Structure 1
């Protein structure tokens, strides 16, 4: 039996998550349901894309991912089912899939067409569950929809490089539970554009000229008291491969996080300038 994951902005206070799970179990009594998160900021598509990109690969091939964020059906927001990287995604066509599909081409995309039989103000419950369970039973995507070859692209997910290849213009993509600021600038883009040149990262009124490989590198080898570094700001590439601005051992209740202490918010601009040909203070992880 395939795993079915749930990623939504429903929260856990209301009945929505329980109703969706109940509907899945009614269709597939032996279903294996995993909550990725229900705490997406309401209607935040880029946050959804980031979390989904960095979680789906941990599941076995054949897993079906139901995504319920900004899922109300409209002429501009169709419902789609996608087979991609040996996984299935049942979601609105609002751009959230573009972060994954920017690197991996979908094998098949269909526009779900069962709405003629189901009129609903709660499509995750009434439509997405039916589609996910149909796929879990081995159903072919073309039975529940018409094959299409395009999906909506989310432009703000993609950072830009200027014509002279001396600057990357990115932005804040996500702020995590520690207040760390994750940008849309990948390690691959940094290395491809930077080509070993020195650099300066500009984030609000702060700048960084060094990128660490991990958080505790900021301590150094000779430090005797690591606590003296609590609250220090640093830049690193996180485990997902994106540039992150952090506060060492941040605590939102005491020290604070990078978002609050540095005044960085979702969609704020992050710029990397590259200079003369010299090696930066950064060694890519192997």
Structure 2
């Protein structure tokens, strides 16, 4: 039996998560359900994509991922099911797949069409559960919808590189449980554009000229009181490979996180400026 994961903005106070799990067990008594998170900020597509993109790869092939964020059916927000990287995703076509599939194209995409048989104001419960159960039983995507070759794209949150290759303009896409600020600037893009040049990262009025690969690299262990580094700000490429602005050993109840201490919020601009233009490679004339 395939694993089924749930990612929603339902929270855990209300009955929604329990109802979805109950419906799955009614269809598949032996199902294995894993909660990725139900604490997505309401309707936050970017946050959903960031979390899911970094979580799904840890699951076995053929895992089915049910995504209930901004899932109300409308003309502009259809429902899709797709196979991507040997995983199945059931979700609204609201742009989140364009971020998850930025480097890997889906093998097959269908627009779910079982709504004609199911009247619902809670599609995750009444529609997505049926589709997930069908796939878990070995059913084909073609049975639940018509095949399509595209999905909604979100391009305004993609980092932008200027023509001179001297800067990257990115933005905040997620703030984690520690208050650390994650941007959409990947280490791969940084290295491709930067080509080893000196740089300056700017986040509001704060600047960084070094990016760490581990949080504790900021600590000078030759100093007896290592705790003096607690609360220091730093830039790091996190485990997901994105530029992050952090506070070392941040505690939201005492020290505070980068978001609150530096005044950074979702979609705020973060820029990287590189020194000196890239020198074109010399090609000798024969």
Q: TM-score, normalization: structure 2?
A: 0.96
Any residues of structure 2 matched to 1:1-286 within 5 Å, and which? 1-276=1-276
Alpha-carbon contact 1:234-1:246 (below 8 Å) kept: yes
- Once residues 11 and 124 of structure 2 are traced to their aligned partners in structure 1, the CA distance between those partners, rounded to angstroms, is 14
Instruction: Specify the SS of the correspondent of 2:96.
Output: coil
- Once residues 275 and 142 of structure 1 are traced to their aligned partners in structure 2, the CA distance between those partners, rounded to angstroms, is 52
Task: Structure 2: give runs of 5+ residues left out of the alignment.
Answer: 279-286
- Once residues 267 and 57 of structure 1 are traced to their aligned partners in structure 2, the CA distance between those partners, rounded to angstroms, is 26
Alpha-carbon contact 2:165-2:277 (below 8 Å) kept: no
- Once residues 277 and 164 of structure 2 are traced to their aligned partners in structure 1, the CA distance between those partners, rounded to angstroms, is 14
Q: Aligned pairs, how many?
A: 278
TM-aligned CA deviation for residue 221 of structure 1: 4.1
Alpha-carbon contact 1:198-1:277 (below 8 Å) kept: no
Alpha-carbon contact 2:166-2:277 (below 8 Å) kept: no
Task: Structure 1: give runs of 5+ residues left out of the alignment.
Answer: 279-286
- The structure 1 segments of at least 4 consecutive aligned residues displaced by more than 4 Å after TM superposition are none
TM-aligned CA deviation for residue 222 of structure 1: 1.9
Instruction: Specify the SS of the correspondent of 1:183.
Output: strand
Instruction: Specify the SS of the correspondent of 2:100.
Output: helix
Alpha-carbon contact 1:172-1:181 (below 8 Å) kept: yes
- Once residues 53 and 157 of structure 1 are traced to their aligned partners in structure 2, the CA distance between those partners, rounded to angstroms, is 16
Question: Which deviations, in whole Å up to 9, do the C-alpha atoms of 1:55-102 show, x marking residues without a partner?
Answer: 000000000000000000000000000100000000000011111211
Alpha-carbon contact 1:90-1:128 (below 8 Å) kept: yes
Q: TM-score, normalization: structure 1?
A: 0.96
- Once residues 108 and 158 of structure 2 are traced to their aligned partners in structure 1, the CA distance between those partners, rounded to angstroms, is 23
